[in-house]
Structure 1
């Protein structure tokens, strides 16, 4: 019986780890862009365009740092392999960003 409880705890931990890696945290912005970008500058431009199309006010400060609707975000890129490879853009809300 104790092994069943241990398996449940491990599964819950893996689920939490997966969500953290994929960027599912309060305040983060997650984008799955249509194209794959191998050049960082092109990826930044596409991210900025996508956010502006969503009606957000966007300023890029360099080094992956954005100001979106007055809040500071850091751009993180993840490549996900679930069937078809997917490039996920995570904009992580910075704690000091008002």
Structure 2
């Protein structure tokens, strides 16, 4: 019985860790998360790449300026993160619903 409780505790900790890691990466309700092929440092190059990816995914979108997008009639704010994927720093694009 004690071994079962320890196993259940370890499983709970791992599940909680996975949840917070996913939340930190931007995978929460309403967000649009993308990983693009290139790393962009200039917004003038980054915005067209985001729009191209959204169009490729079949979404109607346009850039409003000031890091804001309108996708399928809803407004989003661009948040970018650098996350380790396979021990390689990767730029991740997160469009969060505007509040």
What is the TM-score with the length of structure 2 in the denominator?
0.77
Once the two structures are TM-superposed, the CA of residue 11 in structure 1 deviates from its matched residue by: 4.5
Alignment map for 1:38-53 (pairs within 5 Å): 38-53=41-56
Structure 1 unaligned spans of 5+: none
The two structures, once aligned, show a CA RMSD in angstroms of 2.2
Q: After superposition, where does 1:1-98 map in structure 2 within 5 Å?
A: 11-83=14-86, 84-94=88-98, 96=99
**Stretches of structure 2 lacking an aligned partner (at least 5 in a row):** none
Cα 1:54–1:8 shift into 2, 3 Å:
closer
TM-score by length of 1: 0.77
Q: Secondary structure, in 3 states, of the residue corresponding to 1:59? A: strand
Deviation at 1:10, TM superposition (A): 5.3
Q: Residue 8 of structure 1: CA displacement? A: 6.3
* Cα distance between partner residues in 1 of 2:66 and 2:23: 22
Secondary structure of the residue that 2:38 maps to in structure 1?
Answer: coil
